[in-house]
Amino acid sequence: MANRIGVYICHCGSNIAGKVDCAGVARFASGIKDVAVARDYQFMCSDPGQEMIIRDIREHGLNRVVVASCSPRLHEKTFQKACARGGLNPYLMQHCCIREHCSWTTADPGEATAKARHIVEAAVDRVGHHGELFSREVDVLPDVMVVGAGIAGIQASLDIAKSGHQVHLVEKSPSIGGHMAQFDKTFPTLDCAACISTPKMVAVSQEPNIHLMTWSEVVDVSGFVGNYTVTVLRKPRYVNEDICTGCGACLEKCPTKTLSEFNEGLSERRAIYRNSPQAVPSTPVIDASVCKKITKDKCGICQKVCPTGAIDYTMRERREVYHVGSIVLATGYDAMDPTPLREYGFGRFPEVYTALQFERLNNAVGPTGGKIVMKNGEKPKSVGIIHCVGSRDRNYHEYCSRTCCMYALKFDHLIKDKVGHDTRVYNFYIDMRCFGKGYEEFFRRVQEEGVTFIRGRPAEVVEEDGKLVVVGEDTLLGMNVRVPVDMVILCTAMEPGRGATEVARVFGIAQGQDGFFLEEHPKLGPVSTATDGVFLAGTCQGPKDIPDAVAHASGGAAQAIALAARGKVSISPTTSWIDPDVCIGCKVCINLCPYSAIEFDERRNVSVINEAMCKGCGSCAGYCPSGAAQIKHFNQTQLFNEIDGMLGMMFEPPPPASDPQAADQPGEA
């Protein structure tokens, strides 16, 4: 029986109709083989547009539908659902794109119209070979895993725990809090970071629905939305968390010292350490790479001084497996290492600091006890703050780190406040970006405190007569400047966490061009990813300040809760399928499958797809020479017919253009 295909050409207001002769394309489509009706309409996605399809399915007995409009990423689901409401299997619809792929990218209206005709013909030829497909419903496991316990991961965990679901929170460092735990004050309100984050950290440790695993990392993820199996590597802490009271006796007696990461290398810590007195958990950790007992079997002092006997040098790493319905990634960012920007002298001049180092200098429990002083212990008389180091710079990161202007203002204020109002503070900036709530007001306040702003990216920092000199141009005044200062702070870019690529691999998600995790849609899907059931929270998705990171995290948590609350999820049927009569059992596809979704059936000597795990990526189908492995809805017949249509191979001349009503009337083919 011949197909009865309905074709709908959308104007998208003037987005498409401005370039493409939509009525002409509909007229053309009505002449293609098997097309029963072809129409154009202003907004196909609107209610009347969708109703038009549903009505035609019923009145014209359509068994296939083609919609030519925007990208399928935007509205394929919309039109699939419309078809379903009209009683047609949603997979009997083909959505083709004549906006992003055509009207927006083609200058000449004649060419755009011709191109639209090809695209529509391809879709018509393809849809004729579509078959009915049915989604499956699977149960969603109730627990959620959150990875990374910076402020974003903490917020997400607390939100999810509040909904009554169990959270497994995995943090790779020995304590939680992330970067925020390193700060003393936060912009724009200047409230003390510890005062607002410590209660949240404590809440995490006390919340019965949160199972916290610090000093741990996720090493393997398998499964699919609703049913993830996650393997967590618990690194040996060498201190038994259940027995340790956090008294800290060991911390003082340990004789071995090394540079403190938490203090950004500005001070030393012991081999057994914790980041700060407020650390959650308060249990210390032994750095096995330097501990004398573990490396050389000497010392052993901490074990002797520990009153509860919590020290255990024989601890081994262990792997624990968790079954969760969804995953929230909150692995944060790292600050860029400014050493490659040799012109700014970081690492060469002792008084050049990174912004995070300055945060530690300023922190009440930091290396100087919160005193802003130079290495010689004296107060700086003048400070230069260089903005956008590694940000908005084609050589490093093109993007804006979105926080540097604001924390530079915070530093301005803190220096004036703590070191003295006579301290001269110079900001070297490109633009001041103070877009958040209360940010512009904060900028004004700092300006009024007598801070100097020089517009222009400095060329270099040099040393002259024992003083640092910032050399650059004031682009507003149009003159070169040489500013002598005692101390220089580099506002280094926020960049993807150093382990981001590995995290992306383990969780099967993508990174954007900038290296941050790629969200599903830049505007409409900022917390979900292309992998169902894996959500993003905070700065792992892109630079953010704390308010934005927290809001984003609550968004990620809401997605995870929504999944868990419904308890069911429908799985797309567009997976791969291997025809056992054609498969020769070469096993190549098994290794190529990034989701480990293919198994080998030794008895029949063929490969078999696990449809629950297959994401329909097509790696197997792309290789399999005989076409035994093919993706449903993207099979070879469908694709070849689409190509034929694109090449105008199946063209049958349209009815004579003398019929001016052709576009509006169902063109019976």
Ligand X SMILES: Cc1cc2nc3c(=O)[nH]c(=O)nc-3n(C[C@H](O)[C@H](O)[C@H](O)COP(=O)(O)OP(=O)(O)OC[C@H]3O[C@@H](n4cnc5c(N)ncnc54)[C@H](O)[C@@H]3O)c2cc1C
Taking the CB of residue 521, how many other CB atoms lie within 10 A of it? 12
Residue from the set 281, 538, 556, 654 that interacts with ligand X by CB under 6 A: 538
Buried b (16+ CB within 10 A) or exposed e, 593-602: bebebbeeee
CA distances from 75 to 48, 49, 127, 414, 630 (A): 15, 13, 17, 50, 25
**Which positions from 32 through 51 interact with another protein, judged by CB under 8 A?**
33
Residue (494 or 593) nearer to ligand SF4, CB: 593
Q: Smallest distance from the beta carbon of 282 to ligand X, in angstroms?
A: 16
Q: Are the beta carbons of 217 and 232 closer than 8 angstroms? A: yes
- DSSP for 173-235? SSSSBGGGGG-SEETTTTEEHHHHHHHHHHHHHH-TTEEEE-SEEEEEEEEETTEEEEEEEE-
Q: How far is the CB of 645 from ligand X (least distance, A)?
A: 46
Asked if 334 contacts 390 with a C-beta cutoff of 8 angstroms, the reply is no
Establish if 654 lies at the interface with ligand X (CB under 6 A): no
Q: Does 652 bind another protein (CB under 8 A)?
A: yes
**DSSP letters for 470-508:** EEEEETTTTEEEEEEESEEEEEEPEEE-TTHHHHHHHHT
Residue from the set 436, 547, 585, 666 that interacts with another protein by CB under 8 A: 585
Q: What is the CA radius of gyration of the chain?
A: 31
| Contact partners, residue 111, CB within 8 Å, separation at least 6 | none
CB of 647 to another protein, least distance (A): 8
The correct pick among 583, 597, 609, 621 for binding another protein (CB under 8 A) is 583
Q: Note the residue count of the chain.
A: 669
Binding of ligand X by 536 (CB under 6 A): no
- Binder among 118, 237, 392, 410 for ligand X (CB under 6 A): 410
Separation CA 429–CA 441 (nearest Å)? 18
Contacting residue, 640, 659, 664, 668, with another protein by CB under 8 A: 640
Is 628 near ligand X (CB under 6 A)? no
210 binds ligand SF4 (CB under 6 A): no
- Per residue in 313-327, is it b (16+ CB within 10 Å) or e — as a string? bebeeeeeebebbbb
602 is a contact residue toward ligand SF4 (CB under 6 A): no
| Residue among 159 and 359 whose Cβ is closer to ligand X | 359
Output the CA angle 54-56-61, nearest 5 degrees: 110
The region that residue 265 occupies, defined by phi over 0 for left and psi between -120 and 50 for alpha, beta otherwise, is left
Residues 551-590 that bind ligand SF4 (CB under 6 A): 578, 583-589
Contact 411, 487 (CB under 8 A): no
Q: Does the footprint of ligand X cover residue 433 (CB under 6 A)?
A: no
Scanning residues 588 to 617, which ones bind another protein (CB under 8 A)? Answer: 588, 591-592, 594, 605
Q: Which of 323, 445, 587, 633 binds another protein (CB under 8 A)?
A: 587
Which region among 133-141, 391-399, 552-560, 622-630 touches another protein (by CB under 8 A)? 622-630
* 510 lines the binding site for ligand SF4 (CB under 6 A): no
Options 103, 197, 256, 331; binder of ligand X; rule CB under 6 A: 331
Q: Does position 210 bind ligand X by CB under 6 A? A: no
The one segment of 8-16, 80-88, 397-405, 622-630 that binds ligand SF4 by CB under 6 A: 622-630
CB of 578 to ligand SF4, least distance (A): 5
- Please state whether 233 falls in left (phi above 0), alpha (psi between -120 and 50) or beta: beta
Residues 6+ apart with CB under 8 A from 203: 158
Contact between 589 and 623 (Cβ < 8 Å): yes
Interface residues toward another protein, by CB under 8 A: 33, 513, 581-588, 591-592, 594, 605, 619, 623, 625-628, 636-637, 640, 644, 648-652
Interface residues toward ligand SF4, by CB under 6 A: 578, 583-589, 607, 620, 623-626, 628-629
Interface residues toward ligand X, by CB under 6 A: 147-153, 170-173, 178-180, 183, 186-187, 217, 330-333, 335, 355-356, 359, 403, 407, 410, 494, 497, 499, 503, 538-539, 544-547, 549
